[in-house]
């Protein structure tokens, strides 16, 4: 079994790069932010029902987000890797992942 998988994120204009940028710049429009802007009144997560849907909840704490991360890890492990390194040529991403 290969011991290391490497996910490379290159500087670019693809949807993955845009998503990472929005998260790092705290521009992902969560329900907490929508409430602050007066767009909605309920800041809870529409997927799992957690009281507050903030950025961290969207990408890490939501039960659905956790399931997605687990599935991604399973796909990597099926490829014969038991460890993953995320590489990026964007300094913002590198700093956020440290």
Burial of residue 34 (number of CB atoms within 10 Å: 0-12, 13-18, 19+): middle
pLDDT tens across 38-95, in order? 999 999 999 999 999 999 899 889 999 889 888 888 887 787 777 666 655 556 555 6
d(CA 11, CA 82): 26
Does the pTM of the predicted model rise above 0.85?
no
Tokens found for residue 87: 């590489």
Residue with tokens 């309920």: 42
d(CA 51, CA 87): 34
For 7, residues 6+ apart whose C-beta sits below 8 A from its C-beta are 76, 84, 85, 86, 87
């Amino acid at each position: 079994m290969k011991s290391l998988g490497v996910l490379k994120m290159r500087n670019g204009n693809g949807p993955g790069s845009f998503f990472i940028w929005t998260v790092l710049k705290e521009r992902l429009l969560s329900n907490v932010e929508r409430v602050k802007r007066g767009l909605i009144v309920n800041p809870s997560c529409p997927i799992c029902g957690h009281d507050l849907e903030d950025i961290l909840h969207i990408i890490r704490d939501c039960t659905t987000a956790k399931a997605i991360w687990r599935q991604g890890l399973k796909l990597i492990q099926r490829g014969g890797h038991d460890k993953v390194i995320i590489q990026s040529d964007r300094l913002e991403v590198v700093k956020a992942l440290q």
